[in-house]
């Protein structure tokens, strides 16, 4: 094979053959196909798309570049959840221990944040002592009978190494937001991970990869098909990411809010999404469970017990106080009315600029940085009341965070059509 022929075929809108796909994915991973050649091919795929058969083969070829985990020996069904990413999306933290209460093990192999969306591992690292990296044997021990039944840890570099390389290349060549490439990227990692059931939380709105419902739906359908064809019981929910989830965006702040949910409280939207995803995961894994049963496990401490064991097994101290920002700045309402908008992307960028996220893979993140919200769209606000509290360890960051929040919040007079619409959405 010749890389130029494969690029030219896709440039000319031809369907790539299985053999071409197998060769180009493997040769790229081994450094035989050059970065500039793969970047041309990624752009040709971006512009001309791929047929379902090509996407399935591409995904399988990426899986075959690495190892596959096998949970068949743990003696319990497994279910995982993947979110396409958003602002304040801490759902994995209460969800994994909650599902484990009901006899389904949760191998939640996670990543770090890039840009304005937070990473699950970054959040958990705000817990003193907690360790993200585990060996495969440690992961299996956590999931077996006798272990906590849930593990949230770093995905090893052995899973779909082709994706690691390709994702970094797409990031710098304007080829990220393309359904075939996103679907194969996510699903190659999830199928290689070896979960029996998978629930995809595909986010739509300003704070998500997918701004448009039509593209989010296409992505969801493509990923569900890929999962099912690979023998994974896969489902997808399309959920809103036009406003942040819950009342916090930032690492330690989000752990604190997750602990509220695990203690039977927490913001309504976080609880509702946690329950909805848990219902789907348990059903897909063959252990149908009602929302009432799930609520009871949050209220009576069973999910919290799993959480504590899960954190302890990874050297974290579940009783240690979470770090708190030394510096805060409060933004207050300048008029009376109803909060009609709290933009996810702008809040995410502000949290990132305060130090919660990173611009480059190797940058450190601040555990304490982030944005705390005091009202959600649809709620009444009065002049002078706090709307947002900005948290950071480095106060010179406040100015750029405030800049990012320009236009993030809108308040409309009570009784106006905008206010009525925001109240209706909330209900």
Nearer to ligand URA among residue 159 and residue 261 (C-beta) = 159
Nearer to ligand URA among residue 181 and residue 306 (C-beta) = 181
Query: Residue 186: which H helix or E strand, with range?
Result: helix 179-193
- Of these, 46, 58, 71, 167, which contacts ligand URA (CB under 6 A)? 167
Residue 85 C-beta: closest distance to ligand URA, Å: 6
Choices 151-159, 182-190, 212-220, 292-300 (CB under 6 A): range interacting with ligand URA: 182-190
> What separation, in Å, do the N-terminal and C-terminal C-alpha atoms of the chain show?
58
Nearer to ligand URA among residue 66 and residue 337 (C-beta) = 66
Count of residues that interact with ligand URA, criterion CB under 6 A:
6
Would you call 271 helix, strand, or coil by DSSP?
A: helix
Question: Do 161 and 155 meet the contact criterion of CB atoms below 8 Å apart?
Answer: no
Strand partners, 51: none
Nearer to ligand URA among residue 115 and residue 326 (C-beta) = 115
Residue 166 C-beta: closest distance to ligand URA, Å: 8
Nearest C-alpha neighbor of 98 from the set 260, 317, 296, 247: 296
Residue 170 C-beta: closest distance to ligand URA, Å: 7
Contact between 186 and ligand URA per CB under 6 A: yes
As annotated, the active-site residues are 82, 163, 170, 185, 189
- Of these, 20, 78, 92, 185, which contacts ligand URA (CB under 6 A)? 185
Q: Rounded to an integer, what is the distance from CA 299 to the centroid of its chain?
A: 25
Contact between 130 and ligand URA per CB under 6 A: no
Q: Identify the DSSP state of 95.
A: H
Q: What is the largest CA-CA distance in the chain?
A: 68
Choices 2-10, 180-188, 275-283, 331-339 (CB under 6 A): range interacting with ligand URA: 180-188
Would you call 327 helix, strand, or coil by DSSP?
A: strand
- Of these, 79, 140, 160, 182, which contacts ligand URA (CB under 6 A)? 182
| Angle, vertex CA 246, rays to CA 80 and CA 115, nearest 5 | 70
Nearer to ligand URA among residue 110 and residue 248 (C-beta) = 110
Instruction: Report the C-alpha dihedral over residues 210, 215, 219, 225, rounded to 10 degrees.
Output: 160
Strand order in the sheet with 380-381: 380-381, 337-342, 409-412
**Binding site residues, ligand URA, CB under 6 A:** 167, 176, 181-182, 185-186
């Amino acid at each position: 094979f010749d890389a130029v022929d494969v690029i030219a075929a896709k440039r000319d809108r031809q369907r790539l053959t299985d053999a071409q796909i197998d060769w180009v994915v493997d040769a790229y991973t081994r450094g035989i196909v050059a970065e500039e050649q793969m970047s041309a091919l990624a752009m040709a795929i971006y512009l001309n798309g791929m047929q379902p058969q090509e996407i399935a083969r591409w995904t399988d070829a990426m899986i075959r570049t690495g190892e596959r985990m096998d949970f068949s020996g743990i003696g319990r069904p497994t279910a995982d959840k993947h979110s396409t990413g958003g602002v304040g999306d801490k759902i994995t933290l209460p969800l994994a221990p909650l599902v484990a209460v009901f006899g389904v093990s949760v191998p939640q192999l996670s990543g770090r944040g890039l840009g304005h969306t937070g990473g699950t591992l970054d959040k958990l690292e705000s817990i003193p002592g907690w360790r993200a990296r585990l060996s495969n044997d440690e992961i299996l021990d956590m999931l077996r009978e006798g272990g906590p039944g849930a593990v949230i840890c770093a995905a090893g570099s052995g899973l779909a190494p082709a994706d690691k390389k390709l994702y970094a290349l797409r990031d710098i060549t304007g080829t990220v937001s393309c359904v075939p490439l996103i679907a194969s990227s996510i699903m190659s990692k999830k199928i290689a991970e070896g979960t029996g059931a998978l629930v995809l939380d595909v986010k739509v709105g300003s704070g998500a990869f997918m701004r448009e419902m039509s593209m989010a739906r296409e992505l969801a359908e493509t990923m569900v098909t890929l999962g099912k064809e690979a023998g994974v019981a896969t489902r997808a929910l399309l959920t809103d990411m036009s406003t942040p989830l819950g009342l916090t965006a930032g690492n330690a702040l989000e752990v604190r809010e997750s602990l509220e949910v695990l203690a039977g409280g927490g913001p309504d939207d976080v609880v509702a999404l946690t329950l909805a995803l848990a219902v789907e995961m348990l059903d897909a894994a063959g252990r149908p469970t009602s929302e009432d049963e799930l609520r009871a496990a949050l209220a009576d401490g069973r999910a919290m017990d799993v959480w504590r064991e899960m954190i302890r097994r990874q050297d974290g101290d579940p009783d240690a106080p979470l770090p708190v920002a030394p510096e805060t700045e409060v933004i207050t309402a300048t008029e009376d009315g109803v909060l009609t908008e709290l933009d996810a992307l702008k809040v995410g960028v502000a949290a990132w600029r305060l130090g919660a996220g990173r611009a480059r893979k190797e940058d450190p993140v601040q555990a304490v940085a982030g944005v705390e919200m005091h009202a959600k769209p649809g709620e009444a606000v009065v002049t002078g009341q706090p709307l947002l509290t900005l948290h950071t360890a480095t106060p010179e960051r406040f100015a750029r965070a405030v800049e990012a929040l320009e236009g993030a919040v809108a308040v409309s007079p009570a009784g106006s059509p905008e206010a009525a619409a925001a109240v209706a959405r909330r209900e």
